[in-house]
Amino acid sequence: MKTIRSFIAVPLPEMVVKACRECIGSMPGPGSAVKWVRPESIHITLKFLGEIPEAQVQSIAGATRQAVHNYSPFQLRTHRPGAFPGWNHPRVFWIGLQGEGVELLKQLQRSVESAMELLGFPRGKRAFSPHLTLGRVKQAEQCTRAARALREYPFPSLPIEVNAVKIIKSELRQGGAVYTDLETLLLSGQ
């Protein structure tokens, strides 16, 4: 049985990807203690599924379609940079999300989480915290420059129209993960 690594996510508009690219490009360069994410692969993860049987994609798509069909498109905005668990001992660098749509995004994520639980996927252990991951810290004791640069970076407030959810295949390769869209499920509000 062939398996694939996959997740469910909200895609980003090109202007947000471009802003992430500019931000990452301004960070301390090669030899950095941070593994920066390829900007074109940044998204809002709603549910990481892990390794799944390829044959299960259609049932996941059907359950996700049911989970999102009552939602109408809504809007978020990018916010300032942050770090998990905090700036003093960062493990992940991110861009925050804000606006009235954040509460709708949390509801959407809970709907997807519940639908996946009915298919046998365990609930996530951490509370959903909407963000865009920019990088993962490789050497905490050496990431001070990157943390300072990101903390001071004037990331613009840009709109994100949430009008679709995607099921994405993730292939881990030497140069980083390569993503392929398997299904696009539109938010129709019906």
Provide the annotated active-site residues.
43, 131
- Which one, of 12, 24, 33, lies nearest residue 150 by Cα? 24
- Which one, of 132, 135, 155, lies nearest residue 45 by Cα? 132
* Pair of tokens at residue 68: 């999102």
Bond prior to 130 in cis (omega within 30° of 0) = no
Contact 108, 71 (CB under 8 A): yes
Q: What is the DSSP string of 140-185?
A: GGG-HHHHHHHHH------EEEE-EEEEEEEEEETTEEEEEEEEEE
- Classify residue 173 as exposed, middle or buried by CB count within 10 Å of its CB (0-12, 13-18, 19+): exposed
The most distant pair of C-alpha atoms in the chain lies apart, rounded to whole Å, by: 50
187 vs 70: CA distance, rounded Å: 7
